Structure 1
Amino acid sequence: MNTTTAFDTAELTTWLASLSSPPDLHGPVISDRHGPVTLTRIGAGQSNLTFLAADGDGHRVVVRRPPLGRLTASAHDVLREGRIMASLAGSGVPVPEIYGATTTAGGVPVIAMSVVPGTSLNSRDAAAGLSPRARAAVAEGLVDAMVAVHAVDLDRTGLSTLASHEPYAPRQLRRWSRQWEKTKTRELPPLDALTARLRDAVPDQSETVLVHGDLHLGNIIVDPGTGTVNAVVDWELATLGDPLADIGSLLAYWPTPTGPNLPGFDAALSDGFPGHAELADRYLSATGRSRTALDFWHVLGLWKVAVIVEGVVRRVGDRPENAPTSGAPTTELVDLLVSKATGIADAVGL
């Protein structure tokens, strides 16, 4: 992507140079004395776009903005993401430090945050640099981070008004059904049939917690030596809801030897990473939550991922610059995800 398409670098540099330096940061957030910052796209994100901004003195900061092109009204709310991460400071959930947020003269919302050391495991090649022991630690830390997210005190962090406290599954089905209608590239009767089955099988919800909404290997930053999770990122889909939704989504993203697997999500096929059963067992053991509704949330997770992938197909078709670095997905992948979800629904009697 041409970074000048994503930002007016002179305007961005002026704003970054105006930010107050946090107490733990030695030196400014960024300096403009050598001219505009240089920008490099980082991560394999398929939605909001993330860049590393660097000045001539070696200061670095991460900036994030929505994707280019036509967007749905409620999607890609970068400023909301920034507010959530700022609220989680000191909560026990590892997040980057938020330096500031703004809307550019062109109407583009932007957030600036700290550079978190470590790596993102958005490919099998990225996982190759970790030992099997470190890979196992990454998976354990990912589940433990999820447990921490679900234990956040909503009142103390000011997040109790983040979203509705109404039952989460019906809200998810409404939201992503609307998203499908707005971004689909064709009619897909099997997805429509799966949507109807999910609506008929909604489980009771006994608690409401902070839900990340998209917590997987690609959305954490880890120490490549130890596997320690240094940060949870990409809070675009965070909301209040049923905690089992997050573990269901994690299972939906987690690759299997037989697939279908999403581009950029094959890292967990490397030695040392556990399978679905081990992930679910660790989460349920740590929280004491019931396994009963997890099958529903696994199917809903796959259904939601299919809708998200279709949206990526649409955005990349509209603007090739939005293509993720891991490769653009296809409508065939959407079909395979729907088929897998339908097969699981059949197997568990959904």
Structure 2
Amino acid sequence: MDLLTSLTPLDGGWSGETFLAEVAGERSVVRIFAGPRHAEHAAEIQEVLLRLVRGLVPVPAVKEVRRADADAEAPGLLVTELLDGVRGDVLLPALDAQGQGVVGGRLGTIAATLAGMPHVAAGMFVDATLRVRPFAPDLEEWVAQHEDLLDWSDADLAGLRAVAAHAQDRLDEVGRVSLVHGDLNLKNVLVDADTLEITGVVDWEFAHAGSPYADLGNLLRFDREPAYADAVLRGWTQLRGDDPATARERARSADLVALVDLAARKDANPVAARAHDRLLVIARSRDLHATDQSRLLTSE
């Protein structure tokens, strides 16, 4: 593929590294893995993941991959097909309750499918063999590592520690590890506006091996309209067999890892700022499921 063609930034991401390219009338998506935050083999890792899940989860076909070359100061690059569909975060607010339920159910099934793909140990993928760099801390240690960055009152931090201890107890009940997309939310899914079929799950940058409930927690983090959220849980439980209340509790427990990480970077982007506010509500109420924004006004 001739990558000297013009590149147009795609909407929806914060990285500014995803582009639309057109060569000889054929459009593709080009992801450039620039910057130190990316693993050395980020492009190859995403290629392997897309090939691994294709046929189980709707993902774009890989057209080309180029490994990063530090000597040539060339970043890794991944070229995939351009999928049809509307971003889920754009489409869902325009749907009625029935439509939201259809989309939610299908996303719950996707999360459950990924949760059924086992891995030996939790960690971030480091190369194309999907070897992992293990995660060291549990939730309580994770919170301790981020307390200074949160810059909260002693009372709020005490509430967060209590929630983290409870959440870790719930996660300890699971006892297995699976493939995790790591950013499975409406912004990273494409939906056919007419049929409401999920046409693509994109942006696998944060994929890792971890809690089977992590992607479910991401789907339920902010989008909690009953028609949607209840359907997500139905889609999950029909495939995984969990009780919905148990699945929700474990999902919110697993998602606490991401909420803490995002909250500690609240000024990075609007999603991080929203995560910070949600985590503060959770800490002050000592309730994983809390959404009451009035709790931001006073520390308990």
Q: Which TM-score bucket, shorter chain as reference?
A: 0.7 to 0.9
| Letter paired with 2:105 | E
TM-score, length of structure 2 as denominator length? 0.73
Inter-partner Cα distance in structure 1 for 2:20 and 2:140:
35
Aligned to 1:143: 108
Matches for 1:1-350 after TM superposition, within 5 Å: 16-17=1-2, 36-47=4-15, 49-55=17-23, 57-66=24-33, 71-72=36-37, 77-90=42-55, 92-102=56-66, 103=68, 105-123=72-90, 126-127=91-92, 133-152=98-117, 161-163=130-132, 170=137, 180=146, 184=149, 187-189=151-153, 190=156, 194-195=160-161, 197-199=163-165, 201-202=167-168, 203-255=172-224, 274-290=227-243, 291-292=245-246, 294-302=248-256, 304-308=258-262, 310-311=264-265, 313-314=267-268, 328-329=269-270, 333-343=274-284, 345-346=286-287
Q: Are residues 347 and 297 of structure 1, via their aligned partners in 2, closer, same or farther at CA, if it must alter by over 3 Å?
A: closer
Is the Cα contact below 8 Å between 2:119 and 2:177 reproduced in 1? Answer: no
Q: CA shift at 1:128, angstroms?
A: 5.8
Deviation track 1:105-148 (CA, whole Å, cap 9, x = no partner) reads 4232211111111111233xx44665654443222211111122
SS at match of 1:292: helix
Q: Are residues 330 and 234 of structure 1, via their aligned partners in 2, closer, same or farther at CA, if it must alter by over 3 Å?
A: closer
Is the Cα contact below 8 Å between 1:81 and 1:235 reproduced in 2? Answer: yes
Inter-partner Cα distance in structure 2 for 1:116 and 1:65:
18
SS at match of 2:164: helix
Inter-partner Cα distance in structure 2 for 1:295 and 1:78:
34
Inter-partner Cα distance in structure 2 for 1:285 and 1:44:
31
Inter-partner Cα distance in structure 2 for 1:216 and 1:54:
27
SS at match of 2:87: coil
Is the Cα contact below 8 Å between 2:104 and 2:229 reproduced in 1? Answer: no
Inter-partner Cα distance in structure 1 for 2:62 and 2:259:
28
Is the Cα contact below 8 Å between 1:65 and 1:108 reproduced in 2? Answer: yes
Q: Are residues 296 and 148 of structure 1, via their aligned partners in 2, closer, same or farther at CA, if it must alter by over 3 Å?
A: closer
Inter-partner Cα distance in structure 1 for 2:111 and 2:12:
21
List gaps (5 residues or longer) in structure 1: 1-15, 18-31, 257-272, 315-327
Q: CA shift at 1:67, angstroms?
A: 6.0
Inter-partner Cα distance in structure 1 for 2:115 and 2:276:
32
Q: Are residues 173 and 87 of structure 1, via their aligned partners in 2, closer, same or farther at CA, if it must alter by over 3 Å?
A: farther
SS at match of 1:188: coil
Inter-partner Cα distance in structure 2 for 1:286 and 1:330:
30
Is the Cα contact below 8 Å between 1:201 and 1:296 reproduced in 2? Answer: yes
Deviation track 1:40-93 (CA, whole Å, cap 9, x = no partner) reads 1113123473111113x311110112465xx44759934422221122233x11
Inter-partner Cα distance in structure 2 for 1:330 and 1:136:
24
Q: Are residues 175 and 52 of structure 1, via their aligned partners in 2, closer, same or farther at CA, if it must alter by over 3 Å?
A: farther
Inter-partner Cα distance in structure 2 for 1:344 and 1:304:
19
| Letter paired with 1:143 | G
Inter-partner Cα distance in structure 1 for 2:275 and 2:53:
34
Is the Cα contact below 8 Å between 1:63 and 1:112 reproduced in 2? Answer: yes
Is the Cα contact below 8 Å between 1:47 and 1:312 reproduced in 2? Answer: no
Percent of pairs with identical residues: 22
Cα RMSD between the aligned structures? 3.9
Judge which range, 280-289 or 72-81, deviates more. Answer: 72-81
SS at match of 1:43: coil
TM-score, length of structure 1 as denominator length? 0.64
Inter-partner Cα distance in structure 1 for 2:110 and 2:281:
27
Inter-partner Cα distance in structure 2 for 1:296 and 1:63:
35
Inter-partner Cα distance in structure 1 for 2:241 and 2:109:
13
Is the Cα contact below 8 Å between 2:223 and 2:229 reproduced in 1? Answer: yes
Judge which range, 111-120 or 192-201, deviates more. Answer: 192-201
Inter-partner Cα distance in structure 2 for 1:119 and 1:146:
19
Inter-partner Cα distance in structure 2 for 1:195 and 1:160:
36
